[in-house]
Amino acid sequence: MTLATLFIIAAMICIVCVVVSLFGGLFFLTQGEQKDRMSSNKMMRMRVLFQGLTIFFLFLAYLAS
């Protein structure tokens, strides 16, 4: 197993986290209470973080190949 493969696997895990945080954020957004809106905002920030990590891991996989 090469280093590039490990980075690809890490990127795929981050993609799954992006999808989970996206749907979690949308779920909390539709609830309508103030606490749920704060949770939605936190989930959407986590989505952006995971998207950044995905791009970073894909870049590292490109460099490692």
Q: How do residues 8-65 score in pLDDT, each as one tens digit?
A: 999 999 999 999 999 998 888 888 788 778 888 899 999 999 999 999 999 999 999 8
Distance set, CA 19 to CA 25, 46, 50, 62 (Å): 10, 11, 9, 23
Q: Residue 14: give the domain boundaries.
A: 3-64
- Tokens matching residue 30: 């539709």
- Total domains in the fold of the chain: 1
pTM listed for this prediction: 0.86
